């Protein structure tokens, strides 16, 4: 009985700690892609739940899913081909923690996943990456190389709309758009990522390397082959600027000359007094 109560208490604490962790809102798919640090395609393997120690003390259950990387579409996995993707929640020894909105994986799925940064896990020594966006970060790839998932408008999960699960199928069918523009397939996704990366590169270059001011050459009067007088007047100060070193030398010469003159005058005044 004590064991059951302890497990129940642990479960209640875990549920309370993640009660506010699954707030979603519907957004355009390109924005979801842009915010994902890493995007990769591959095959899923087995999933296992393990306890993970927290930095501030305590622990939580995480589910780790094997992922065999076939192609990195965005970011870098530093050459890793076999990784684990991690999500909060799972069940261990009768203690379960279910988090609404997590992605559900089955072994052998062909999927595109959005990943966050690599995490150091005390539960495993394998390479682990956090899922980015929970269920909004998993998309199945069909035989026609097209995507399906909760983050696409034609397959929006009812939890994002507050819909009744019983009516989810009817709503999904009514919202389905079969036009080519509505489908997100691999070629279109790759092109989107390529375009977004090019735009980010242009913006970064514009911030780091501002465009220098153009040098304006003086216009020449074709009739007289001389520089316009107005421009000559504007350019004259720039041509006559004195370098700082030359200015310092001039002042030194003036001070020495004044000192010499004052010395001579004082000597003459002394002779007259004598």
pLDDT 10s digits, 141-161 = 999 999 999 999 644 444 444
Residues 115-124: pLDDT tens digits?
A: 998 988 766 7
Q: What is the distance of C-alpha 220 from the center of its chain?
A: 51
State percent of the chain over pLDDT 90.
45
The least confident of 40-49, 104-113, 147-156, 161-170 is: 161-170
pTM of structure: 0.62
On the question of pLDDT at 72 being above 60, the answer is yes
Distance CA(172)–CA(152), nearest Å, equals: 11
Cβ atoms of residues 154 and 176 within 8 Å: yes
CATH number, domain 2-197: 2.40.50.120
Residues 219-243: pLDDT tens digits?
A: 544 444 444 444 444 444 444 445 5
CA distances from 167 to 36, 114, 146, 197 (A): 31, 28, 25, 39
CA distances from 231 to 164, 194, 219 (A): 76, 48, 8
Residue 153's CB: how many other CB atoms inside 10 A? 14
| Nearest alpha-carbon partner for 68 in 83, 78, 79, 48 | 83
Answer with the residue of higher pLDDT: 267 or 43: 43
């Amino acid at each position: 009985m004590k064991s059951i109560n302890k497990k129940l208490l642990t479960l209640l604490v875990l549920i309370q700690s993640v009660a506010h962790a699954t707030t979603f809102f519907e957004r355009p798919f390109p924005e979801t892609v842009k915010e994902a640090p890493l995007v990769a395609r591959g095959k899923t393997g087995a999933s296992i739940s393990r306890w993970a120690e927290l930095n501030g003390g305590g622990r939580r259950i995480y589910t780790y899913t094997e992922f065999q990387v076939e192609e990195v579409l965005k970011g870098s996995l530093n050459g890793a081909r076999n990784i684990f993707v991690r999500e909060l929640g799972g069940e261990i020894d009768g203690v379960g923690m279910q988090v609404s909105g997590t992605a559900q994986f089955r072994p052998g799925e062909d999927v595109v996943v959005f990943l966050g940064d690599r995490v150091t896990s005390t539960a495993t020594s394998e390479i682990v990456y956090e899922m980015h966006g929970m269920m909004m970060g998993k998309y199945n790839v069909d035989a026609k190389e097209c995507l399906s998932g909760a983050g696409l408008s034609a397959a929006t999960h009812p939890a994002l709309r507050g819909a009744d699960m019983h009516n989810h199928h009817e709503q999904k069918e009514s919202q389905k758009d079969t036009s080519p523009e509505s489908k997100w397939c691999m070629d279109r996704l790759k092109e989107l990522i390529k375009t977004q990366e090019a735009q980010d590169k242009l913006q970064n270059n514009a911030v780091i390397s501002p465009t220098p001011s153009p040098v304006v050459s003086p216009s020449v009067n074709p009739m007289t082959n001389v520089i316009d007088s107005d421009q000559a007047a504007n350019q004259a100060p720039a041509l006559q600027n004195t370098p700082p070193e030359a200015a310092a030398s001039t002042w030194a010469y003036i001070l020495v000359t004044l000192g010499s003159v004052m010395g001579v005058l004082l000597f003459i005044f002394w002779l007259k007094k004598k």
